[in-house]
A and B are shown apart, each in its own frame.
Chain A
């Protein structure tokens, strides 16, 4: 549905996007991840025809994003960063304007507007000026604007920024619901958001694409050391000497101590599975094991590793 190849964009001497290549099949929800200023918004602006690129090519729904930008824009719903809206307009007037220029047939205007009012929960603010609305409601009006013409593709630049936790959950659920039928690209720097809503992740840093895969792929290939947490009812010194005997252990560190039990962190190289060895080592001594927990590399780790130098 979306194919981008070698996209490059310079602003003066700074390169905002360099040689970015990716594609999104129909029906996928793609999370665009990266620190602030990584080039997420610039890439989205290029896709939606707001600016042109210096190099590279791209197509959306079979249309060239540069030479057939109008056709591309007809098939996209775009929510720019921080949902800019006409503050002097009231909500129905604004939506009416959008359906008109989006060429929704005239007899379906009312239906399209009402559908968005229901979907985005705008009933209570129908007679207010957009300028009077809270950030959360503005974001919803922005989302309504992106979906009102029922496009196949949605491009959402930080759709949940500035919302309170309840609203974030609502918008995420909304995106998940929409994502069942549509192709979605959404950018964010909130990692839980991606795990909660996306089928696939693309991480971009300093304009470069540094990772591309499902959330599971990315955490698996991060392959740092594995950390186990164990809590055992015994004296710390005894525990340390016993656990150090487990083959492959890199580090045994006391983490917390109480009169009758101690918590240790055990580090192993790469993705070793050593639950059994730990369990055996503990039961050999007749100790009671009260905690055994394997900490897997999280998306946060992957993100931190890929986006810091």
Chain B
């Protein structure tokens, strides 16, 4: 546990040791604010639904940008060898890195709270869906992070890691969309729907926190963190 926290601290700080964190956070907030208000007044309805509908698509580009350096940079600089010969379990390093990026993403997401305040000032939104929306967004963000981090463990090139992360997340996101499902054989439609990152988010966003959705996100996260640990072990035969 102490190891996980030590890694987490180091990784979290490293976001702020370079300008990355500030750039990411400001771009994310400006973009989400802009896209939110653009549609907010058109809809003429005091709800944060618009914000949460944007999240899967904002995260699609934002999250792989947060995770792309996590392993690629270690490989490029050679610090991978330093890190992995410290008396640390591979899985602890993976968890520590994941938690650091998760904390960073959660903070950034929660920094959109001025949008909540303005919505309350202008109308009477329902509180449940807002809590649910944030929770769903953070969980979905976690799933994206685990995927992006896995992508980063496959290459020492940050650009490739970013693109791979976007492609993987995008695939998992759209397999639940109607236009994709309509082209698929009926027998696998429920499976695709279940596997899709988006479908589970919709129900949480409506304010319904179903344990099945929680389990889904936690499974995706664990699965990709597991793959990540396996891909670290592959350093032995490359």
Q: Which of B13, B85, B89 contacts A80 (CB 8 A)?
A: B85
* Contact partners of A52 in chain B: CB under 8 A: 236
B88 adjacent to chain A (CB < 8 Å): yes
Give every chain A residue within 8 A of B77 (Cβ-Cβ): 84-87
In the complex, per-residue mask of A76-116: 1 if CB is within 8 Å of any chain B CB, else 0:
10101110111111000100011011110000000000000
Q: Which residue from A70, A71, A145 sits with its C-beta under 8 Å from B82?
A: A145
Find chain A residues with CB under 8 A from B78 CB. Answer: 80-82, 84
**Could you tell me the distance in whole angstroms from the C-beta of A230 to the nearest C-beta in chain B?**
53
Q: How far is the CB of A83 from chain B (nearest CB, A)?
A: 9
Whole-angstrom CA separation of A50 from B84 in the bound complex: 6
The answer on a CB contact under 8 Å between A93 and B6 is: no
B79 and A84 contacting across the interface, CB-CB below 8 Å = yes
B177 at the interface (CB under 8 A from A): no
Contact call A73/B14, Cβ cutoff below 8 A: no
- Partner of A70 from the list B14, B80, B89 (CB cut-off 8 Å) is B89
Contact present for A73 and B87 (CB under 8 Å): yes
Please tell me which one of the listed residues A76, A78, A85 contacts residue B79 in the complex, with CB atoms under 8 A apart. Answer: A85
Check: B235 CB closer than 8 A to any chain A CB: yes
Q: Which of A73, A80, A101 contacts B81 (CB 8 A)?
A: A80
Tell whether, in the assembled complex, residue A51 and residue B236 are in contact, meaning their CB atoms are under 8 Å apart: yes
A188 at the interface (CB under 8 A from B): no
CB pair A93–B13 under 8 Å, yes or no, is: yes
Given A84-B77, A97-B6, A51–B86 Cβ distance below 8 Å?
no
- CB pair B17–A70 under 8 Å, yes or no, is no
B212 at the interface (CB under 8 A from A): no
- What's the nearest-Cβ distance from chain A to residue B143, in Å? 27
- Does residue A49 face the partner (Cβ distance < 8 Å to B)? yes
Any A CB within 8 A of the CB of B10: yes
**A135 close to chain B: CB less than 8 A:** no
- Return the contact of A49 from the options B14, B82, B85, B237 (Cβ within 8 A): B85
Query: Which residues on B sit within 8 Å (CB–CB) of A81?
Result: 78
Interface size class of A (residues with CB under 8 A): 20 to 34
Chain B interface SS verdict (over half): helix
Question: Which residues of chain B are within 8 angstroms of A78 by Cβ–Cβ distance?
Answer: 82, 85
Asked if B118 CB lies within 8 Å of chain A CBs, one says: no
* Residue B211 CB within 8 A of the other chain: no
Residues of B within 8 A of A88 (CB): 14, 17-18
Query: Hey, what's the 0/1 contact readout for A133-175 against B, CB within 8 Å counting as 1?
Result: 0000000000001000000000000000000000000000000
CB distance from B214 to the nearest CB of A (A): 32
Question: At the interface, yes or no: B210 with Cβ under 8 Å from chain A?
Answer: no
| Minimum distance in angstroms from A138 CB to a CB of chain B | 11
The one of A82, A97, A101 in contact with B87, judged by C-beta atoms closer than 8 angstroms, is A101
From known contacts A52-B236, A73-B86, A97-B6, infer whether A89 and B81 are also in contact, taking CB-CB under 8 Å.
Answer: no
The answer to whether B6 touches A51 (Cβ under 8 A) is: no
- Distance of A287 from chain B, by nearest CB (Å): 62
Q: Is the CB of A50 within 8 A of B3?
A: no
- CB < 8 Å neighbour of A11 from B14, B81, B88, B237: B237
The answer to whether B6 and A85 touch across the interface, beta carbons within 8 angstroms, is no
Please name the residue on chain B nearest to A88 by beta carbon: B17
Assess whether A182 is interfacial by the CB under 8 Å rule: no
Nearest Cβ in chain B — how far from A218, in angstroms?
Answer: 30
Chain B residues with Cβ under 8 A from A89's Cβ? 10, 13-14, 17
B contact residues around A70 at 8 Å (CB)? 87, 89
Tell me the minimal C-beta distance from A150 to chain B in angstroms. 14
Report which residue of B2, B10, B84, B87 has the largest number of chain A beta carbons within 10 angstroms of its beta carbon: B87
User: Complex Cα distance A70/B3, Å?
Assistant: 13
Q: Which residues of B, 6-44, contact A by the 8 Å Cβ criterion? A: 6-7, 9-10, 13-14, 17-18
Contact B79 A50 (CB under 8 A): no
Contact check, A86 vs B6: say whether CB atoms are below 8 A apart. Answer: no
Provide the residues of chain B in CB contact with A59, threshold 8 Å.
none
Does A45 lie at the interface of the complex (its beta carbon under 8 Å from any beta carbon of B)?
yes
In this complex, what residue of B is CB-closest to A72?
B87
CA distance A35 to B70 in the complex (A): 34
Not counting A85-B82, A88-B18, a sample of 14 additional A-B residue pairs whose C-beta atoms are within 8 angstroms of each other reads: A49-B85, A50-B235, A51-B236, A52-B236, A70-B87, A70-B89, A84-B78, A84-B80, A88-B14, A89-B10, A93-B13, A97-B10, A101-B86, A102-B87
Which 9 pairs, one residue from A and one from B, show the smallest C-beta to C-beta distance? Answer: A84-B78, A88-B17, A80-B81, A73-B87, A51-B236, A74-B87, A48-B85, A100-B6, A84-B79
20 sampled A-B residue pairs with Cβ under 8 A: A11-B238, A45-B81, A49-B84, A49-B85, A51-B235, A70-B89, A78-B82, A82-B78, A84-B81, A85-B77, A85-B82, A89-B13, A89-B14, A100-B6, A101-B3, A101-B7, A101-B88, A102-B87, A103-B2, A145-B82
What residues of chain A have their CB less than 8 Å away from a CB belonging to chain B? 11, 45, 48-52, 70-71, 73-74, 76, 78, 80-82, 84-89, 93, 97-98, 100-103, 129, 145
